[in-house]
């Protein structure tokens, strides 16, 4: 595992960016761009990063950013890659940096098309499980019972298991990451940068605004997502699947913290605890944790 001191000192997420206090997207992007050493053209559809990169005429990121329409990130990246190829430039990564709405929902067609065409690019979905940039509406990534501004009393369906959809495209590289584990995230981006073909990294991003927790708790909540077994860190090089060590230790359900510890810190799940604790719904979410493990291990091992 890479030590923090071994990461490049050069920063690509610059001062003066327009991120919220406690933004975990910015934290993930910081380490991702260090891993890519800035040799990247970053395609950004409508999402929080459209704002975070700063307002014209300033730029808060030290890499070229091509903003594009909500559903068009992977298509735009296909064009960037084709242009680089036409110009004989092979030393540049093309990276989509898209939110969960732009990936799970409106952008999934373009994503599927670009992967089927075996486009040489890295698609990153930074997932805070909600349309947070438009004010916290439910997305296909919003978990069961999470309150949003379009599910005021809690969402009635669990999230889409997007990783399985992506896996069906047989990407050259696929991984999950979590902004609270920057060393693991850094290594996965490094690995992706050395592999040719369509690559997908799915990063969990706790969001103080949308998840409604104190801004200083982002890393703690991100870690709880892994320690409760809710978010599973793994990677797949071709069809070689590997649980990342941070999650491997929670493969045994007995070692996991109860899901309640992850839920209770977040205002979006407040109705599970107030006015009185809803044991049945919490148990459903607890069961979903194991369900995801079962589906993942059944599919990939």
Closer by beta carbon to another protein, 18 or else 237: 18
d(CA 85, CA 33): 22
Please list, in sequence order, all residues whose beta carbon lies within 8 angstroms of the beta carbon of residue 41, skipping any fewer than 6 positions away: 63, 64, 66, 80, 84, 92, 93, 94, 95
Closer by beta carbon to another protein, 45 or else 206: 45
Examine residue 77 and tell whether it contacts another protein (CB under 8 A). Answer: yes
Pairing label, strands 65-67, 93-99: unpaired
Stretch that binds another protein, among 110-118, 149-157, 192-200, 261-269 (CB under 8 A): 110-118
Out of 55, 168, 215, 283, the residue judged to bind another protein by CB under 8 A: 55
- Determine phi and psi for 139, rounding to 5 degrees: -125, 180
**Residue 282, SS3?**
helix
Out of 1, 8, 85, 214, the residue judged to bind another protein by CB under 8 A: 85
Residues linked to residue 174 through DSSP beta bridges, in sequence order: 200, 236
Examine residue 197 and tell whether it contacts another protein (CB under 8 A). Answer: no
What's 192's DSSP letter? H
d(CA 237, CA 283): 34
Considering only CA atoms, which of 239, 186, 179, 235 is closest in space to residue 211? 179
Stretch that binds another protein, among 19-27, 80-88, 231-239, 267-275 (CB under 8 A): 80-88
d(CA 286, CA 228): 9
- Determine phi and psi for 103, rounding to 5 degrees: -110, -55
Closer by beta carbon to another protein, 36 or else 285: 36
- Residues in contact with another protein, counted by CB under 8 A, come to a total of 44
Stretch that binds another protein, among 82-90, 177-185, 232-240, 274-282 (CB under 8 A): 82-90
Stretch that binds another protein, among 53-61, 128-136, 195-203, 205-213 (CB under 8 A): 53-61
Considering only CA atoms, which of 260, 15, 9, 287 is closest in space to residue 158? 287
Stretch that binds another protein, among 1-9, 43-51, 153-161, 276-284 (CB under 8 A): 43-51
The least distance separating another protein from the CB of residue 256, rounded to whole angstroms, comes to: 40
Closer by beta carbon to another protein, 113 or else 197: 113
Closer by beta carbon to another protein, 40 or else 180: 40
Summarize as ranges the residues that interact with another protein (CB under 8 A). Answer: 38-41, 43, 50-51, 53-56, 59, 61-69, 71-72, 74-87, 92, 109-110, 112-113, 116-117
């Amino acid at each position: 595992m890479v030590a923090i001191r071994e990461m490049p000192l050069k920063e690509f997420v610059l001062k003066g960016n327009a991120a919220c206090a406690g933004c975990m997207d910015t934290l993930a992007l910081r380490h991702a761009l260090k891993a890519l050493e800035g040799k990247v053209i970053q395609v950004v559809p409508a999402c929080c990063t459209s704002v975070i990169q700063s307002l014209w005429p300033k730029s808060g990121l030290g890499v070229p950013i091509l903003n594009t329409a909500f559903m068009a990130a992977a298509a735009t990246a296909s064009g960037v890659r084709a242009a680089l190829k036409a110009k004989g430039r092979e030393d540049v990564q093309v990276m989509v940096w898209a939110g969960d709405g732009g990936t799970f929902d409106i952008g999934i067609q373009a994503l599927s098309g670009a992967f089927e065409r075996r486009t040489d690019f890295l698609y990153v979905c930074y997932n805070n499980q909600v349309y947070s940039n438009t004010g916290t509406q439910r997305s296909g990534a919003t978990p069961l019972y999470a309150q949003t501004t379009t599910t005021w009393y809690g969402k009635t369906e669990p999230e889409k298991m997007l990783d399985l959809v992506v896996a069906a495209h047989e990407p050259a590289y696929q991984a999950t990451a979590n902004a609270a584990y920057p060393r693991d995230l850094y290594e996965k981006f490094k690995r992706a940068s050395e592999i040719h073909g369509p690559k997908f990294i799915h990063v969990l991003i706790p969001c103080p605004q949308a998840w409604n927790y104190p801004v200083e708790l982002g890393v703690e909540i991100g870690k709880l997502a892994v320690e409760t077994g809710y978010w599973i860190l793994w990677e797949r090089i071709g069809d070689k699947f590997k649980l990342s060590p941070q999650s491997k230790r929670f493969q045994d359900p007995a070692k996991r913290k109860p899901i309640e510890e992850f839920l209770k810190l977040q205002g979006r799940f407040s109705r599970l605890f107030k006015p009185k604790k809803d044991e049945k719904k919490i148990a459903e979410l607890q069961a979903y944790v194991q369900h995801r493990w079962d589906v993942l291990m059944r599919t990939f091992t």
